[in-house]
Structure 1
Amino acid sequence: MSWCGRLPEVVLLVDLLRAPERAARLSPAEWDVVIPQARQSHLLASLAARLWAAGVSGQVPAEVARHLGSAVVLQRKQCQGLAHELDHLRPALAEAGEPVLLLKGAAYITAGLPPAAGRLMSDIDILVHTSALPAVERVLAGHGWSAGKIDPYNERYYRQWMHEIPPLGHRQRRSTLDVHHTILPPTSTGQIDAAALWRQAVEASPGVMVLGPEDMVLHSAAHLFHEGEFGHGLRDLLDLDGLLRHFAGLEGPQFYARLLARAHSMGLERPLYYACLHAARVLETPLPAELIAALRPTGLAALKGPFMDFLFRRAFTPGHSSCRLPLTGFALFCLYVRSHYLRMPLRLLLPHLLRKACMDLRAGAGTGATDRKVAKEAG
């Protein structure tokens, strides 16, 4: 049975991501469903890359090819912009004694990993040592990076509870930089050893590093399954599918053994379990049954399984009206609250959500891009 149950329309985009050669059999009406689903999921350029790699891009209708081509142009422009920003970041961070360590989309693209094909990104994420944060902020400010005007409550939220500082925007180039000092909020359920992340980091290109294979998968899983916004949930799940297939293909079963051990040492067994379970269900990621069995929750935690399946099934459905499942809004709200519960104690969570709701109500339409990002990520 399909992962999406009674709604066959949902399968179209997922089926093409699984088996792009099926594109030759789609009708114009089906393409009218697939294209908006892919655009809404931030996967239009990724779909184009898969069709190209499968050798079927020439078999799509001309009007579809135009949409796909436009997405590819945008993605290539983002890759060029990333390369340009790295030319500025390397010497800037060197002044603070820090290397450039990229995370998420920027890391995949720079390292040439499978998720890079068609991968869109809205900002550049980097990791720096916690002890270097003051120097990094000072140096970046001298090079034109600024957080701009931020509500004092949001500023305090980032500084006290988050694993990153408020997003920085460049005054001239209008790019956005997320500076992390670890990969999850310090108050979260994980036991992240940031020093261990640095010890396993590898060089992806001259002067630019990325996380080691196991840590890259765990960060992707932790980010997705601790996240409260699932507008690009299917895209992030596709990232995990690509990473798992790639590293297991290079290293074989030993990779899974190391991944499991690393998840245990970092306290990230639960997000890795969800990552493996849903990648296998949605994208048919080939994973050993014993890996999922070793990660499967037991006891009281196992009782939440059906409810979590209900939530994530909706979270990984493209956010388009053609495939909206019943109670999707309720599911996304539950995941939003859950993400905050994972970040902070309940005694602080309820006042925080109330405060953020009031702030959202009075938010002005003239808020800048960086300010909107700050407000969104802070709640």
Structure 2
Amino acid sequence: MNGIRGAQLVSALKSPNQAAQFTSSQWSALIACARAANLAGLLAERVRSAAIPMPADAARHLDAILQLGRRQTQSVLWEVHGLQRALAPLNIPVVLLKGAAYAVSGHPVSRGRLFGDIDILVPREVLGDVEIRLMVAGWMSAKSTPYDQRYYRTWMHELPPMVNVRRGTVLDVHHTILPLTSRHRPDARHIIEAAQALPGLPAIRVPRPEHLLIHSIVHLLHEGELHNGLRDLFDIDGLLRAGALETDFWPRVIDAAHTLDLTAPVFFGLHLVHQVIGSEIPAPALAALQPASGAQRPSRSLTWLYRQAVRPESEAAESLLATAARLAIYVRAHWLRMPPHLLACHLAHKSMMRLKKNEPAAEGRA
């Protein structure tokens, strides 16, 4: 990778002027590293905004990424209008989450951000009605086995993923932001009721800035797969930068974290983004979010694990430390999501399914 690693990518994204003297091979390595971290769009946005000179090949590549981002935003807007038509008759708030919320609201975090699924949050009591309306509109469940259906509907915070039969778009329908079996159980009604309306889309809402931040942190820390971990940290950094422009942002973050009973993950998430990216976090805010345990400093070992695990995919694949860290975080995420007895049963089932799936292939090789 010609010496371009995750740390250098972070540095280039924070200070694009550093790339002004890069050679063609260094630009190629930087773009490859950014792609591996799903940050190529953000890199393109930042170097173009800073008017950084670059080789023609690099310029064409980054311009193509920006074009892809614009097309993706148009696609998301199309889908959101479809959700408006499908769900408006229910007269409920439909709250966009994560990438879709950033894109449709024009949030600064959306600039250069590429994403796949569309996530929405709806009141749990109308989940059945929402699913029926979506099925009529052409969305079908992507999970067909009885176990997967029971797993999502009984224990998780969302329906099984739904796929549009005509366009192949994936939709995740949430009724809260963490699994029902999780050690943290935030009441999503606070997010839904505070969500802000969008012009021209009466049914569609986006979360308040403090809720966007908290959900981004919680998603990162409770997600077992960290292939987008560095991208998620830059999301959090962007949400912090935008929020800091509002005079009452930090009091709202602190109040929302307490209301949702999520002070511990928010405390650690803010510490982590400061450690990895250098985001500015006011000391009084961290003090106000200090966990009930009284720990003034987040776990050094957990911080180290995340710093190893959020490396870009290409770099993580070459590192035994990153591989071990990702495994540890995968286990930790499941430990947070489920009580021990349920976790043991779930992992045993998944292991059996993998063995059965590999049996025909093994016989074929023999």
Q: State the TM-score, normalizing by the size of structure 2.
A: 0.91
Partner of 2:57: 63
Identify the residue that residue 90 of structure 1 maps to in structure 2.
84
Residue 284 of structure 1: which of 267, 278, 294 is its match? Answer: 278
3-state SS of 1:187 partner: coil
Unaligned runs of 5+ in 2: 359-366
In structure 2, relative to structure 1, the CA distance for the partners of 1:271 and 1:329 (3 Å cut) is: same
Q: What does residue 371 of structure 1 align with? A: none
SS of the residue 1:228 aligns to: coil
Give the distance between the partners of 2:316 and 2:126, measured in 1 at CA: 48
Question: Which has the bigger relative contact order, CA under 8 A and spacing at least 6?
Answer: 1
CA 1:148–1:234 in structure 2 vs 1: closer, same or farther (change >3 Å)? closer
**How far has the Cα of 1:300 moved from its partner?**
8.9
| Structure 2 Cα separation of the partners of residues 273 and 300 of structure 1 | 12
SS in 1 for 2:185: coil
For 2:43 and 2:294, how far apart are their aligned partners in 1? 40
Identify the residue that residue 137 of structure 2 maps to in structure 1: 143
- The alignment status of 1:111 with 2:98, answered yes or no, reads no
Which amino acid letter does the alignment assign opposite residue 321 of structure 1?
A: E
Unaligned runs of 5+ in 1: 1-6, 365-379
How many aligned positions are there? 355
**Which of the numbers 178, 195, 200 marks the counterpart of 2:189?**
195
| Equivalent AA in structure 2 for residue 237 of structure 1 | L
- The 5-angstrom pairing of residues 320-331 of structure 1 reads 320-321=314-315, 324-331=318-325
Indicate the SS of the match to 1:310: helix
- Determine the structure 1 residue equivalent to 2:308: 314
- Structure 1: which amino acid aligns with 2:110? A
| Superposed CA offset, 1:303-360 (max 9, x none) | 9712101210112211213885441111111111111111110111122112112223
What amino acid is aligned across from residue 44 of structure 1 in structure 2?
A: A
Task: Give 1:75 deviation, angstroms.
Answer: 1.4
C-alpha spacing 1:289/1:211, structure 2 compared with 1 (3 Å): same
Secondary structure in structure 2 of the residue aligned to 1:330:
helix
What's the Cα RMSD here? Answer: 2.2
Is the 2:268–2:298 contact (alpha carbons within 8 Å) kept by the matching residues of 1? no
Amino acid in the other structure paired with 1:276: L
Following the alignment from structure 2 to structure 1, what is the Cα–Cα distance between the partners of residues 103 and 259? 28
In structure 2, relative to structure 1, the CA distance for the partners of 1:148 and 1:261 (3 Å cut) is closer
Q: Which moved more, 1:173-182 or 1:276-285?
A: 276-285
- Once the 2 structures are TM-superposed, how far is the Cα of residue 104 of structure 1 from its aligned partner? 0.2
Distance 1:107 1:205 in 2: 13
Shift of 1:236: 0.8
1:1-379 superposed matches below 5 A: 9-56=5-52, 59-148=53-142, 150-207=144-201, 208-249=204-245, 251-252=246-247, 254-297=248-291, 305-321=299-315, 324-363=318-357
8 Å Cα contact 1:110-1:205 kept in structure 2:
no
Q: What letter matches 2:128 in structure 1?
A: P
Letter in 1 for 2:42: S
**Aligned residue identity for 1:164:** E
Secondary structure in 2 matching 1:146: strand
Runs of 4+ off more than 6 Å: 300-304
Is the 8 Å Cα contact of residues 10 and 323 (structure 1) preserved in structure 2? no
> Could you tell me whether the CA contact under 8 Å between 1:90 and 1:99 is conserved in 2?
no
* Pair 1:41–1:209, CA change in 2 (3 A): same
Give the superposition deviation at 1:12: 1.8
Aligned AA (1:261): D
Cα offset for 1:361?
A: 3.8
Displacement of 1:97: 2.6
Give, in angstroms, the shift of residue 63 of structure 1.
1.4
Equivalent pair of 1:100/1:209 in contact (CA under 8 Å)? yes
Conserved in 2, the CA contact under 8 Å of 1:167 and 1:176?
yes
SS at match of 2:113: coil
Alpha-carbon distance in structure 1 between the residues aligned to 2:198 and 2:111: 16
CA distance in structure 2 between the partners assigned to 1:220 and 1:166 by the alignment: 21
SS where residue 5 of structure 2 aligns? helix
How far the C-alpha of 1:282 sits from its partner, in A, is 1.9
What TM-score, normalized by structure 1, do the two folds share?
A: 0.88
Q: What is the alpha-carbon distance in structure 2 between the residues aligned to residue 61 and residue 322 of structure 1?
A: 28
CA deviation map 1:232-259 (0-9, x unaligned): 111111111011110111x23x311221
